[in-house]
A = this chain, B = another copy of it.
Amino acid sequence: VTPDGPIPTRVPETETTARLEALRALLGCEGLDACVFVESSALYYLTGTVASGHLVVPAEGDPVFLVRRDAARAAVEAAVVDVRPFSSLRGLAGVLADVIGRPARRLGFELDVLPARSYLRYRELLDPAAIEDCASLLAGLRRRKSAWELDRLRLAGEQTMLAQRAAVELVTEGATDLSIQIELEHLLRRAGHQGPLRFRGLNGEMHYGTVLTGPDAAVPGYPDAPLSGPGPNRAVGRGPRGFPVMEGVPVTVDLCGGLDGYVSDATRTRWYGELREPFATALPTCRLILGELEAMLTPGTPAQDLYERGLEIAEEAGFGDLWMGHGEGRVRFVGHGIGLEINEQPFLARGVEQPLEAGNVVAVEPKLVFPGEGAVGWENAYAIREQGPAELLTPGD
């Protein structure tokens, strides 16, 4: 790669070294001989590159990145691991035994994303080793962001808010939710948005976020999101299809920045003219809830408490049935972690007792959905600190 274009940010070696070390300590505790990673966000997190291959992280000994495409490029990008060209899966058991120092007995793979066909093939190739699910080990590490990651998430937040400010002018007569979305995508890209974002899991699709207005904002969604929209067509099935912006009717602008792999997420509610009821009452309720939940973003708060407290305030305001969707469309969370994927831990969801920790970065998104009428919401991204209030990563109204 010549120096005539911009030089992409490199994940510092101190980062990948620390992450690999932390993971290896966990492997030891779990009794796994090694973990093998093949999914892009895991590869980037642990090596700084998304080369196609198998990253082998043993509990003892040094990690090895077996690269199918392209080993020479990967060696430049992934400085801390031993990169080796590797083209035939049949050699995998041998390489693993070599890296581990004896035949593998228990191996971890990310079974939440590894296709079943690959899983069955690995089981056959690595027999008699047991193949276990190590997805939660890495997800647990990725919950706690480093100072370097927080810098990236701050920049992604700034990018998001640049577009949020521009949206104010776009919400006018003659616009549609889709036309606004298209202009904001363009603006985000020109502001350095990376393009593709990652949403973990089968059918996980994410495309800059979603602008919606009127009854389309209240269409029950297929994905697990409080607002979803009908989509530009039935094949996509989510997002705007082009509903006209009307005076006094809210436009929910939910945008995701994306930079150096890291995602941000913020929602603002915009309108022109005078905001109609019930929205004029509902929007301050969302902002009141967000203020209350913000104060709960401290280490030790059980994640589910944010969802339940939001529900409580919504109920007191008479909006209990509209909290985070209505009917079947309701979701049981009020926020989610963000990082290299838009749906990371911690999930601020019913049933999640695990307490928040310093270094968690979450998007908190109280929303109220009025069937057939529209929706309002407000969302910010925050970094939870050891001491004091959480840091707001998406500042500005």
Whether the pair A242, B5 counts as a contact (CB closer than 8 A) is yes
Q: Which residues on B sit within 8 Å (CB–CB) of A116?
A: 109, 111-112, 114-116, 118-119, 133
A340 within 8 A of partner (CB): yes
**Which residue of the partner chain B has the closest CB to A259?**
B233
Query: Which of A192, A233, A243 has most chain B Cβ within 10 Å?
Result: A233
Shortest C-beta distance, A67 to chain B (Å), equals 9
* Copies, count: 2
What residues of chain B lie closer than 8 Å to A124, measured between beta carbons?
A: none
8 Å CB interface, A243-298 against B: 243-244, 259-262
B328/A219 in contact, CB under 8 A: no
A69 to B194, CA, bound (A): 30
From 185 to 220 in chain A, residues with beta carbon under 8 angstroms from any chain B beta carbon are 185-186, 189-190, 192, 194-196, 201-203, 205, 207, 214-216, 219-220
Contact of A222 with B by CB under 8 A: yes
What per-residue 1/0 map shows which CB atoms of A47-80 lie under 8 Å from chain B?
0111110000000000000000111111001000
How far, in whole Å, are A223 and B77 apart by their CA atoms in the complex? 16
Q: Which residues of B contact A113 (CB under 8 A)?
A: 115, 202
Which residues from chain B contact A335 at a C-beta distance below 8 Å?
A: none
- Which residues of B have CB within 8 Å of A51? 222, 237
Asked if A5 contacts B52 (CB within 8 A), the reply is no
Least Cβ–Cβ distance between A1 and chain B, in angstroms: 5
- Give the complex CA separation of A4 and B217 in angstroms: 13
Q: How far is the CA of A223 from the CA of B53 in the complex (A)?
A: 11
A390–B86 Cα gap in the complex (Å)?
Answer: 39
Residues of B within 8 A of A259 (CB): 233
Q: Is the CB of A224 within 8 A of B69?
A: yes
**Would you mind naming 22 contact pairs between A and B with Cβ atoms under 8 Å apart?**
A2-B216, A2-B372, A5-B242, A6-B241, A8-B230, A38-B202, A39-B202, A48-B234, A52-B224, A69-B220, A70-B221, A73-B220, A74-B222, A109-B116, A114-B115, A115-B202, A118-B202, A185-B189, A195-B239, A196-B236, A233-B261, A235-B340
The 9 closest A-B pairs by CB, nearest first: A235-B261, A116-B119, A70-B220, A50-B237, A5-B243, A111-B116, A111-B117, A186-B186, A182-B189
